[in-house]
A and B are shown apart, each in its own frame.
Chain A
Amino acid sequence: MCLAIPALVTALHDGAMASVSVGGIAKQISVALLEEVAVGDYVLLHVGYALHRVSEEEARRTLAMMAEAGLLQAEVADMAGLPERAGVGT
Protein backbone atom coordinates (compact mmCIF):
# COMPACT_ATOMS: atom_id res chain seq x y z
CA MET A 1 0.00 0.00 0.00
CA CYS A 2 0.91 3.62 0.14
CA LEU A 3 2.32 4.67 -3.18
CA ALA A 4 5.07 7.17 -2.48
CA ILE A 5 7.96 8.37 -4.59
CA PRO A 6 11.08 10.48 -4.16
CA ALA A 7 10.79 14.12 -5.23
CA LEU A 8 13.41 16.85 -5.38
CA VAL A 9 12.48 20.09 -3.60
CA THR A 10 13.08 23.00 -5.98
CA ALA A 11 11.45 25.90 -4.10
CA LEU A 12 9.72 26.57 -0.80
CA HIS A 13 6.53 28.65 -0.56
CA ASP A 14 4.26 30.15 2.08
CA GLY A 15 1.70 27.97 3.78
CA ALA A 16 4.08 24.99 4.10
CA MET A 17 3.97 24.39 0.36
CA ALA A 18 6.85 23.52 -1.91
CA SER A 19 7.61 23.02 -5.58
CA VAL A 20 9.15 19.66 -6.36
CA SER A 21 10.42 17.83 -9.38
CA VAL A 22 9.38 14.21 -9.72
CA GLY A 23 11.76 12.82 -12.30
CA GLY A 24 11.46 16.02 -14.32
CA ILE A 25 7.80 16.85 -13.79
CA ALA A 26 6.88 19.76 -11.54
CA LYS A 27 4.30 19.48 -8.75
CA GLN A 28 3.15 21.64 -5.87
CA ILE A 29 3.11 19.68 -2.65
CA SER A 30 2.61 20.25 1.07
CA VAL A 31 5.60 20.04 3.38
CA ALA A 32 3.44 20.61 6.46
CA LEU A 33 4.44 17.22 7.85
CA LEU A 34 8.20 17.84 7.82
CA GLU A 35 10.15 19.40 10.70
CA GLU A 36 12.64 20.89 8.33
CA VAL A 37 13.22 20.88 4.62
CA ALA A 38 15.51 22.74 2.26
CA VAL A 39 15.74 23.31 -1.46
CA GLY A 40 17.82 20.47 -2.88
CA ASP A 41 16.44 17.86 -0.46
CA TYR A 42 14.78 14.74 -1.75
CA VAL A 43 11.53 13.97 0.04
CA LEU A 44 9.20 10.99 -0.07
CA LEU A 45 5.95 12.19 -1.67
CA HIS A 46 2.61 10.54 -0.85
CA VAL A 47 -0.83 11.89 -1.91
CA GLY A 48 0.51 15.42 -2.27
CA TYR A 49 2.43 15.47 1.01
CA ALA A 50 6.11 15.04 1.83
CA LEU A 51 6.32 12.33 4.50
CA HIS A 52 10.03 12.16 5.14
CA ARG A 53 13.33 13.37 3.81
CA VAL A 54 15.31 10.83 1.79
CA SER A 55 18.82 10.22 3.06
CA GLU A 56 21.29 10.18 0.20
CA GLU A 57 23.93 8.61 2.40
CA GLU A 58 21.67 5.78 3.50
CA ALA A 59 20.56 5.12 -0.07
CA ARG A 60 24.17 4.82 -1.13
CA ARG A 61 24.91 2.53 1.79
CA THR A 62 21.96 0.28 0.92
CA LEU A 63 23.10 -0.05 -2.68
CA ALA A 64 26.66 -0.76 -1.53
CA MET A 65 25.35 -3.50 0.77
CA MET A 66 23.46 -5.06 -2.12
CA ALA A 67 26.62 -5.15 -4.20
CA GLU A 68 28.53 -6.49 -1.20
CA ALA A 69 26.06 -9.33 -0.72
CA GLY A 70 27.34 -10.65 -4.02
CA LEU A 71 30.93 -10.23 -2.99
CA LEU A 72 30.39 -11.96 0.33
CA GLN A 73 28.66 -14.79 -1.40
CA ALA A 74 31.53 -15.08 -3.89
CA GLU A 75 34.04 -15.16 -1.02
CA VAL A 76 32.12 -17.87 0.77
CA ALA A 77 31.99 -19.86 -2.42
CA ASP A 78 35.73 -19.34 -2.89
CA MET A 79 36.55 -20.49 0.62
CA ALA A 80 34.42 -23.57 0.20
CA GLY A 81 36.04 -24.22 -3.14
CA LEU A 82 32.64 -24.13 -4.81
CA PRO A 83 31.85 -22.51 -8.10
CA GLU A 84 29.82 -19.34 -7.77
CA ARG A 85 26.15 -20.09 -8.27
CA ALA A 86 24.45 -18.19 -10.98
CA GLY A 87 21.26 -16.35 -10.17
CA VAL A 88 18.23 -18.55 -10.47
CA GLY A 89 15.70 -17.81 -13.12
CA THR A 90 18.03 -15.83 -15.33
Chain B
Amino acid sequence: MKYVDEFRDRDLARTLAAAIAAAVDPARDYNFMEFCGGHTHAIFRYGVQDLVPANVRFVHGPGCPVCILPARRLDDAIELAERHGVILCSYGDMLRVPGTGRRSLLKAKADGADVRMVYSTLDALDIARANPGREVVFLGIGFETTTPPSAVAIAQAQAEGIANFSVFCNHVLTPPAIRHILEAPEVDPSQAARLDGFLGPSHVSTVIGSRPYEFLAARYAKPVVIAGFEPLDVMQSVLMLIHQVNEGRVAVENQYTRVVTRDGNAKAQELVARIFELRPSFEWRGLGSVPESALAIRAKYAAFDAEKRFALSEKQSRETKSCECPAILRGVKKPKDCKLFGKACTPETPMGACMVSSEGACAAYWTYRRVETLAEMAAE
Protein backbone atom coordinates (compact mmCIF):
# COMPACT_ATOMS: atom_id res chain seq x y z
CA MET B 1 0.00 0.00 0.00
CA LYS B 2 1.39 3.33 -1.04
CA TYR B 3 2.30 5.65 1.87
CA VAL B 4 2.10 2.70 4.26
CA ASP B 5 4.56 0.00 3.23
CA GLU B 6 7.44 2.44 2.69
CA PHE B 7 7.07 3.55 6.29
CA ARG B 8 7.44 -0.02 7.60
CA ASP B 9 10.66 -0.81 5.76
CA ARG B 10 13.17 -2.89 7.72
CA ASP B 11 16.30 -1.45 6.12
CA LEU B 12 15.21 2.10 6.72
CA ALA B 13 14.28 1.15 10.28
CA ARG B 14 17.85 -0.10 10.79
CA THR B 15 19.18 3.14 9.41
CA LEU B 16 17.05 5.17 11.80
CA ALA B 17 17.92 2.88 14.70
CA ALA B 18 21.62 3.43 14.05
CA ALA B 19 21.10 7.18 13.82
CA ILE B 20 19.17 7.20 17.10
CA ALA B 21 21.82 5.06 18.81
CA ALA B 22 24.50 7.45 17.63
CA ALA B 23 22.57 10.55 18.67
CA VAL B 24 21.65 9.63 22.25
CA ASP B 25 23.75 10.85 25.12
CA PRO B 26 24.29 7.69 27.18
CA ALA B 27 24.66 9.79 30.31
CA ARG B 28 21.06 10.86 30.38
CA ASP B 29 17.50 9.55 30.00
CA TYR B 30 15.01 10.62 27.40
CA ASN B 31 11.40 10.36 28.53
CA PHE B 32 9.03 11.09 25.68
CA MET B 33 5.28 10.99 26.04
CA GLU B 34 3.44 9.76 23.01
CA PHE B 35 0.10 11.44 23.47
CA CYS B 36 -1.82 9.21 21.09
CA GLY B 37 -2.90 5.63 21.53
CA GLY B 38 -2.13 5.30 17.83
CA HIS B 39 1.53 5.84 18.65
CA THR B 40 1.34 3.44 21.58
CA HIS B 41 -0.13 0.83 19.29
CA ALA B 42 2.51 1.37 16.58
CA ILE B 43 5.35 1.20 19.13
CA PHE B 44 4.13 -2.14 20.50
CA ARG B 45 2.78 -3.64 17.30
CA TYR B 46 6.17 -3.18 15.63
CA GLY B 47 8.44 -3.50 18.64
CA VAL B 48 9.93 -0.02 18.19
CA GLN B 49 11.35 -0.31 21.75
CA ASP B 50 13.69 -3.02 20.47
CA LEU B 51 15.19 -0.55 18.01
CA VAL B 52 15.97 2.30 20.39
CA PRO B 53 18.51 2.38 23.25
CA ALA B 54 17.22 1.58 26.73
CA ASN B 55 17.59 5.18 27.93
CA VAL B 56 14.97 6.33 25.41
CA ARG B 57 11.67 5.67 27.16
CA PHE B 58 8.13 5.96 25.94
CA VAL B 59 5.60 7.34 28.41
CA HIS B 60 2.10 6.50 27.24
CA GLY B 61 -0.35 9.36 27.18
CA PRO B 62 -4.13 9.66 27.39
CA GLY B 63 -4.82 9.91 23.66
CA CYS B 64 -7.23 7.01 23.43
CA PRO B 65 -10.80 8.25 23.21
CA VAL B 66 -12.18 4.91 24.32
CA CYS B 67 -9.95 4.87 27.39
CA ILE B 68 -10.68 8.37 28.64
CA LEU B 69 -14.47 8.19 28.39
CA PRO B 70 -15.64 8.02 32.00
CA ALA B 71 -18.01 5.26 33.11
CA ARG B 72 -20.80 7.81 33.53
CA ARG B 73 -20.93 8.64 29.82
CA LEU B 74 -20.88 4.99 28.85
CA ASP B 75 -23.64 4.27 31.36
CA ASP B 76 -25.64 7.05 29.69
CA ALA B 77 -25.15 5.43 26.29
CA ILE B 78 -26.30 2.08 27.67
CA GLU B 79 -29.32 3.83 29.19
CA LEU B 80 -30.18 5.36 25.81
CA ALA B 81 -30.16 1.92 24.24
CA GLU B 82 -31.98 0.13 27.03
CA ARG B 83 -34.43 2.57 28.57
CA HIS B 84 -35.18 4.92 25.73
CA GLY B 85 -35.43 2.17 23.14
CA VAL B 86 -33.30 3.92 20.56
CA ILE B 87 -31.17 2.31 17.89
CA LEU B 88 -27.76 3.11 19.33
CA CYS B 89 -25.06 3.30 16.66
CA SER B 90 -21.47 3.02 17.83
CA TYR B 91 -18.04 2.52 16.42
CA GLY B 92 -16.83 -1.01 17.13
CA ASP B 93 -14.27 0.27 19.64
CA MET B 94 -16.82 1.14 22.31
CA LEU B 95 -18.84 -2.05 22.31
CA ARG B 96 -16.80 -4.09 24.78
CA VAL B 97 -15.81 -1.29 27.15
CA PRO B 98 -17.08 -1.99 30.66
CA GLY B 99 -19.14 0.68 32.39
CA THR B 100 -20.47 0.58 35.93
CA GLY B 101 -20.82 -2.99 37.17
CA ARG B 102 -18.82 -4.06 34.10
CA ARG B 103 -21.85 -3.68 31.86
CA SER B 104 -21.02 -2.98 28.23
CA LEU B 105 -22.95 -2.07 25.11
CA LEU B 106 -22.33 -5.59 23.84
CA LYS B 107 -23.98 -7.00 26.98
CA ALA B 108 -26.88 -4.59 26.54
CA LYS B 109 -27.22 -5.85 22.98
CA ALA B 110 -27.19 -9.46 24.15
CA ASP B 111 -29.99 -8.54 26.56
CA GLY B 112 -32.11 -7.21 23.72
CA ALA B 113 -31.09 -3.56 23.25
CA ASP B 114 -30.76 -2.43 19.64
CA VAL B 115 -27.06 -1.62 19.49
CA ARG B 116 -25.50 -1.51 16.05
CA MET B 117 -21.88 -1.23 15.08
CA VAL B 118 -21.20 1.32 12.38
CA TYR B 119 -18.02 2.16 10.54
CA SER B 120 -19.00 5.72 9.73
CA THR B 121 -21.55 8.40 10.63
CA LEU B 122 -22.71 7.93 7.03
CA ASP B 123 -23.93 4.45 8.05
CA ALA B 124 -25.72 5.87 11.10
CA LEU B 125 -27.55 8.32 8.83
CA ASP B 126 -28.52 5.47 6.53
CA ILE B 127 -29.95 3.57 9.49
CA ALA B 128 -31.95 6.68 10.48
CA ARG B 129 -33.30 7.04 6.93
CA ALA B 130 -34.26 3.36 6.84
CA ASN B 131 -36.02 3.48 10.23
CA PRO B 132 -38.08 6.69 10.22
CA GLY B 133 -40.28 5.38 13.03
CA ARG B 134 -37.33 4.82 15.40
CA GLU B 135 -35.00 7.16 17.23
CA VAL B 136 -31.42 6.66 16.04
CA VAL B 137 -28.60 7.90 18.27
CA PHE B 138 -24.99 7.98 17.18
CA LEU B 139 -22.51 7.60 20.05
CA GLY B 140 -19.96 10.26 19.12
CA ILE B 141 -16.54 9.63 20.60
CA GLY B 142 -13.09 10.73 19.62
CA PHE B 143 -10.70 13.61 19.34
CA GLU B 144 -10.51 16.35 16.72
CA THR B 145 -10.05 13.74 14.00
CA THR B 146 -13.37 12.04 14.58
CA THR B 147 -15.35 15.20 15.37
CA PRO B 148 -15.72 16.58 11.81
CA PRO B 149 -17.49 13.41 10.58
CA SER B 150 -20.02 13.85 13.41
CA ALA B 151 -20.43 17.49 12.38
CA VAL B 152 -21.06 16.49 8.76
CA ALA B 153 -23.72 14.02 9.91
CA ILE B 154 -25.55 16.66 11.94
CA ALA B 155 -25.38 19.17 9.08
CA GLN B 156 -26.61 16.50 6.68
CA ALA B 157 -29.45 15.42 8.99
CA GLN B 158 -30.55 19.04 9.22
CA ALA B 159 -30.32 19.63 5.47
CA GLU B 160 -32.33 16.49 4.73
CA GLY B 161 -34.74 16.90 7.63
CA ILE B 162 -33.85 13.55 9.18
CA ALA B 163 -35.75 14.20 12.39
CA ASN B 164 -35.10 10.87 14.11
CA PHE B 165 -31.30 11.24 14.18
CA SER B 166 -29.24 12.62 17.04
CA VAL B 167 -25.69 12.47 18.37
CA PHE B 168 -24.63 11.68 21.93
CA CYS B 169 -21.59 13.92 21.85
CA ASN B 170 -18.44 12.94 23.73
CA HIS B 171 -15.91 14.60 21.49
CA VAL B 172 -12.82 15.80 23.31
CA LEU B 173 -9.86 18.06 22.55
CA THR B 174 -6.18 17.23 22.71
CA PRO B 175 -4.39 20.52 23.52
CA PRO B 176 -6.29 21.08 26.79
CA ALA B 177 -5.45 17.52 27.86
CA ILE B 178 -1.75 18.02 27.21
CA ARG B 179 -1.85 21.33 29.07
CA HIS B 180 -3.61 19.60 31.95
CA ILE B 181 -0.88 16.96 32.20
CA LEU B 182 1.79 19.66 32.35
CA GLU B 183 -0.08 22.09 34.52
CA ALA B 184 -2.04 20.20 37.12
CA PRO B 185 0.44 19.70 39.96
CA GLU B 186 -2.26 18.13 42.10
CA VAL B 187 -2.46 15.34 39.55
CA ASP B 188 1.22 14.52 39.75
CA PRO B 189 3.87 17.08 40.55
CA SER B 190 6.73 15.08 39.14
CA GLN B 191 5.17 14.26 35.82
CA ALA B 192 5.74 17.61 34.12
CA ALA B 193 9.35 17.65 35.19
CA ARG B 194 9.96 14.09 34.05
CA LEU B 195 8.86 14.52 30.47
CA ASP B 196 11.53 15.60 28.01
CA GLY B 197 9.22 16.02 25.07
CA PHE B 198 6.09 14.94 23.25
CA LEU B 199 5.35 12.91 20.19
CA GLY B 200 2.50 15.11 19.05
CA PRO B 201 -0.84 13.88 17.76
CA SER B 202 -0.85 12.54 14.26
CA HIS B 203 -4.26 12.49 12.64
CA VAL B 204 -5.69 15.02 15.08
CA SER B 205 -3.15 17.42 13.63
CA THR B 206 -4.33 16.88 10.05
CA VAL B 207 -7.47 18.70 11.20
CA ILE B 208 -6.19 21.28 13.72
CA GLY B 209 -2.66 21.74 12.34
CA SER B 210 0.52 22.02 14.35
CA ARG B 211 -0.12 25.58 15.55
CA PRO B 212 -2.20 24.66 18.63
CA TYR B 213 0.84 22.95 20.18
CA GLU B 214 3.05 25.99 19.97
CA PHE B 215 1.95 26.98 23.49
CA LEU B 216 3.57 23.80 24.81
CA ALA B 217 6.96 24.70 23.50
CA ALA B 218 6.63 28.35 24.45
CA ARG B 219 5.02 28.07 27.86
CA TYR B 220 6.22 24.77 29.23
CA ALA B 221 9.57 24.51 27.44
CA LYS B 222 8.74 21.08 26.06
CA PRO B 223 9.83 19.99 22.59
CA VAL B 224 7.03 18.62 20.42
CA VAL B 225 7.33 16.65 17.22
CA ILE B 226 4.10 15.95 15.34
CA ALA B 227 4.60 12.30 14.43
CA GLY B 228 2.91 9.98 11.95
CA PHE B 229 1.53 6.62 13.08
CA GLU B 230 3.75 4.32 11.04
CA PRO B 231 6.71 2.83 12.91
CA LEU B 232 9.31 4.71 10.87
CA ASP B 233 7.42 7.95 11.51
CA VAL B 234 7.68 7.25 15.23
CA MET B 235 11.39 6.48 14.97
CA GLN B 236 12.19 9.56 12.93
CA SER B 237 10.21 11.70 15.36
CA VAL B 238 12.14 10.22 18.29
CA LEU B 239 15.36 11.16 16.51
CA MET B 240 14.07 14.70 16.01
CA LEU B 241 13.15 14.96 19.69
CA ILE B 242 16.57 13.68 20.74
CA HIS B 243 18.22 16.33 18.60
CA GLN B 244 16.08 19.06 20.17
CA VAL B 245 16.88 17.83 23.67
CA ASN B 246 20.61 17.51 22.96
CA GLU B 247 20.77 20.94 21.43
CA GLY B 248 18.67 22.51 24.18
CA ARG B 249 16.11 23.60 21.61
CA VAL B 250 12.40 23.77 22.29
CA ALA B 251 10.24 23.87 19.21
CA VAL B 252 7.18 22.40 17.56
CA GLU B 253 8.48 20.38 14.66
CA ASN B 254 6.45 18.46 12.16
CA GLN B 255 7.60 15.03 11.02
CA TYR B 256 4.22 14.14 9.46
CA THR B 257 4.40 16.77 6.72
CA ARG B 258 2.68 14.57 4.16
CA VAL B 259 -0.69 15.29 5.78
CA VAL B 260 -0.11 17.87 8.53
CA THR B 261 0.32 21.60 7.93
CA ARG B 262 0.64 24.41 10.42
CA ASP B 263 -2.98 25.47 9.93
CA GLY B 264 -4.69 22.14 9.34
CA ASN B 265 -7.99 21.67 7.57
CA ALA B 266 -9.81 25.01 7.66
CA LYS B 267 -13.02 23.67 6.19
CA ALA B 268 -13.30 20.98 8.83
CA GLN B 269 -12.48 23.48 11.59
CA GLU B 270 -15.21 25.87 10.38
CA LEU B 271 -17.80 23.12 10.24
CA VAL B 272 -16.91 21.91 13.72
CA ALA B 273 -17.11 25.48 15.05
CA ARG B 274 -20.53 25.93 13.43
CA ILE B 275 -22.05 22.81 14.99
CA PHE B 276 -20.19 22.49 18.30
CA GLU B 277 -19.22 24.72 21.18
CA LEU B 278 -16.82 24.32 24.11
CA ARG B 279 -18.09 22.68 27.26
CA PRO B 280 -16.96 24.59 30.35
CA SER B 281 -15.41 21.36 31.56
CA PHE B 282 -15.54 17.63 30.92
CA GLU B 283 -14.67 14.60 32.95
CA TRP B 284 -11.81 12.48 31.60
CA ARG B 285 -11.05 9.11 33.05
CA GLY B 286 -7.60 9.53 34.50
CA LEU B 287 -7.36 13.30 34.26
CA GLY B 288 -10.52 14.21 36.15
CA SER B 289 -12.38 17.35 35.24
CA VAL B 290 -10.49 19.23 32.53
CA PRO B 291 -11.65 22.77 31.69
CA GLU B 292 -12.66 23.54 28.11
CA SER B 293 -11.58 20.10 26.95
CA ALA B 294 -14.67 18.84 25.18
CA LEU B 295 -17.39 19.84 22.78
CA ALA B 296 -21.17 20.04 23.07
CA ILE B 297 -23.69 20.51 20.29
CA ARG B 298 -24.75 24.16 19.93
CA ALA B 299 -28.29 25.13 20.99
CA LYS B 300 -29.15 25.85 17.38
CA TYR B 301 -28.76 22.12 16.67
CA ALA B 302 -30.40 20.96 19.90
CA ALA B 303 -32.81 18.80 17.88
CA PHE B 304 -29.82 16.61 16.99
CA ASP B 305 -28.41 16.52 20.51
CA ALA B 306 -29.24 13.26 22.27
CA GLU B 307 -28.48 14.85 25.65
CA LYS B 308 -31.26 17.38 25.03
CA ARG B 309 -33.67 14.98 23.36
CA PHE B 310 -33.63 12.33 26.04
CA ALA B 311 -33.92 12.78 29.78
CA LEU B 312 -30.90 10.89 31.05
CA SER B 313 -31.20 9.76 34.62
CA GLU B 314 -28.88 10.63 37.48
CA LYS B 315 -26.71 7.65 38.21
CA GLN B 316 -24.11 6.45 40.64
CA SER B 317 -21.50 5.58 38.06
CA ARG B 318 -18.35 3.95 39.31
CA GLU B 319 -15.05 3.06 37.73
CA THR B 320 -13.82 -0.42 38.56
CA LYS B 321 -12.24 -0.47 42.02
CA SER B 322 -8.43 -0.77 42.18
CA CYS B 323 -8.18 -0.38 38.41
CA GLU B 324 -5.15 1.83 37.75
CA CYS B 325 -6.39 3.13 34.40
CA PRO B 326 -6.43 6.73 35.68
CA ALA B 327 -2.75 6.75 36.68
CA ILE B 328 -1.79 4.79 33.57
CA LEU B 329 -3.59 7.30 31.36
CA ARG B 330 -1.56 10.11 32.95
CA GLY B 331 1.62 8.19 32.29
CA VAL B 332 2.57 8.04 35.98
CA LYS B 333 2.07 4.29 36.32
CA LYS B 334 2.75 1.40 34.02
CA PRO B 335 0.29 -1.43 33.48
CA LYS B 336 2.51 -3.79 35.47
CA ASP B 337 2.04 -1.49 38.50
CA CYS B 338 -1.66 -2.37 38.54
CA LYS B 339 -2.70 -5.16 40.89
CA LEU B 340 -5.33 -6.33 38.41
CA PHE B 341 -3.08 -6.44 35.34
CA GLY B 342 -2.87 -9.92 33.88
CA LYS B 343 -4.72 -11.40 36.85
CA ALA B 344 -8.31 -10.22 37.18
CA CYS B 345 -7.87 -7.96 34.15
CA THR B 346 -7.04 -9.41 30.74
CA PRO B 347 -8.46 -8.64 27.30
CA GLU B 348 -10.97 -11.46 27.87
CA THR B 349 -12.14 -10.06 31.19
CA PRO B 350 -11.26 -6.37 31.02
CA MET B 351 -11.75 -4.40 34.21
CA GLY B 352 -10.78 -1.08 32.66
CA ALA B 353 -10.83 0.61 29.30
CA CYS B 354 -7.04 0.52 28.90
CA MET B 355 -7.31 -3.25 28.57
CA VAL B 356 -10.20 -3.10 26.09
CA SER B 357 -9.09 -0.58 23.55
CA SER B 358 -6.46 -1.91 21.19
CA GLU B 359 -4.80 1.46 21.77
CA GLY B 360 -4.86 1.21 25.52
CA ALA B 361 -1.49 0.83 27.22
CA CYS B 362 -2.60 -2.25 29.20
CA ALA B 363 -3.82 -4.03 26.07
CA ALA B 364 -0.59 -3.12 24.29
CA TYR B 365 1.64 -4.53 27.05
CA TRP B 366 -0.52 -7.62 27.40
CA THR B 367 -1.00 -8.37 23.72
CA TYR B 368 2.39 -7.51 22.31
CA ARG B 369 4.90 -7.49 25.15
CA ARG B 370 3.63 -9.98 27.66
CA VAL B 371 6.82 -12.00 27.85
CA GLU B 372 8.98 -9.01 28.83
CA THR B 373 6.31 -7.58 31.11
CA LEU B 374 5.75 -10.81 33.02
CA ALA B 375 9.51 -11.21 33.41
CA GLU B 376 9.75 -7.67 34.85
CA MET B 377 6.86 -8.35 37.20
CA ALA B 378 8.46 -11.56 38.40
CA ALA B 379 11.76 -9.77 39.03
CA GLU B 380 10.13 -7.12 41.22
Direct contact of A and B (CB under 8 A): yes
Does A88 contact B51, Cβ atoms closer than 8 Å? yes
A47: chain B residues within 8 A (beta carbon): 91, 119-121, 146, 149
Nearest CB of chain A from residue B63's CB, rounded to whole Å = 5
Nearest CB of chain B from residue A53's CB, rounded to whole Å = 8
Does A33 contact B19, Cβ atoms closer than 8 Å? no
Chain A proximity mask over B1-41: 1 for CB below 8 Å, otherwise 0 = 11110110000111111110111000000000000111000
Verify if B216 is at the interface (C-beta below 8 Å from A): no
Verify if B367 is at the interface (C-beta below 8 Å from A): no
- Which segment, of B264-272, B301-309, B327-335, faces chain A? B264-272
Cα distance A32–B3 when bound, in Å? 23
B257: which of A1, A53, A62, A66 is its contact (CB, 8 Å)? A62
Interface residues of B in 220-244 (CB under 8 A from A): 229, 232-233, 236, 239
Does A4 contact B17, Cβ atoms closer than 8 Å? no
Does A66 contact B265, Cβ atoms closer than 8 Å? no
Interface residues of A in 50-71 (CB under 8 A from B): 51-56, 58-59, 61-63, 65-67, 69-70
B53: chain A residues within 8 A (beta carbon): 88
Verify if A81 is at the interface (C-beta below 8 Å from B): no
Does A1 contact B38, Cβ atoms closer than 8 Å? yes
Known: A44-B203, A62-B257. A76 touches B22 (CB 8 A): yes
Chain A proximity mask over B191-216: 1 for CB below 8 Å, otherwise 0 = 00000000000111011000000000
A85: which of B1, B21, B267 is its contact (CB, 8 Å)? B21
Does A46 contact B203, Cβ atoms closer than 8 Å? yes
A89: chain B residues within 8 A (beta carbon): 17, 47, 50-51
Q: How many A-B residue contacts, CB cutoff 8 Å?
A: 164
Cα distance A11–B356 when bound, in Å? 38
Cα distance A53–B53 when bound, in Å? 35
Does B15 contact A66, Cβ atoms closer than 8 Å? yes
Verify if B143 is at the interface (C-beta below 8 Å from A): yes
Tell me what chain B mostly uses at the interface: helix, strand, loop, or mixed.
helix
Closest to A1 in B: B37
A8: chain B residues within 8 A (beta carbon): 2
Verify if B187 is at the interface (C-beta below 8 Å from A): no
Known: A4-B203, A66-B236. A48 touches B2 (CB 8 A): no
Cα distance A5–B52 when bound, in Å? 26
Verify if B70 is at the interface (C-beta below 8 Å from A): no
Nearest CB of chain B from residue A35's CB, rounded to whole Å = 5
Verify if B142 is at the interface (C-beta below 8 Å from A): yes
Does A73 contact B64, Cβ atoms closer than 8 Å? no
Does B12 contact A30, Cβ atoms closer than 8 Å? no
Interface residues of B in 165-208 (CB under 8 A from A): 202-204, 206-207
Does B146 contact A30, Cβ atoms closer than 8 Å? no
Nearest CB of chain B from residue A23's CB, rounded to whole Å = 4
Does B15 contact A69, Cβ atoms closer than 8 Å? yes
Does A52 contact B143, Cβ atoms closer than 8 Å? no
Verify if A72 is at the interface (C-beta below 8 Å from B): yes
A77: chain B residues within 8 A (beta carbon): 22
Does B38 contact A48, Cβ atoms closer than 8 Å? no
Nearest CB of chain A from residue B117's CB, rounded to whole Å = 12
Verify if B123 is at the interface (C-beta below 8 Å from A): yes
Verify if B255 is at the interface (C-beta below 8 Å from A): yes
A55: chain B residues within 8 A (beta carbon): 257-259
Cα distance A87–B233 when bound, in Å? 17
Does B359 contact A73, Cβ atoms closer than 8 Å? no
Given contacts A33-B267, A44-B259, A66-B236, 16 further A-B contacts (CB under 8 A): A1-B38, A2-B38, A30-B120, A33-B148, A33-B271, A48-B121, A52-B260, A58-B258, A62-B258, A66-B15, A69-B239, A72-B19, A77-B22, A87-B13, A87-B15, A90-B17
Query: Which A residues are within 8 Å of any B CB, using their own CB?
Result: 1-6, 8, 22-23, 30, 32-35, 42, 44, 46-49, 51-56, 58-59, 61-63, 65-67, 69-70, 72-73, 76-77, 84-90
* 19 intermolecular pairs with C-beta atoms under 8 Å apart: A1-B143, A1-B204, A2-B202, A23-B1, A23-B2, A23-B4, A30-B120, A30-B152, A33-B267, A46-B145, A47-B149, A48-B119, A67-B12, A69-B236, A70-B19, A73-B23, A77-B22, A85-B18, A87-B51
Task: Kindly list the 10 A-B residue pairs having the minimum CB-CB distance in the complex, ordered from nearest.
Answer: A48-B120, A70-B15, A87-B17, A23-B1, A89-B50, A2-B203, A2-B145, A6-B3, A69-B19, A87-B14
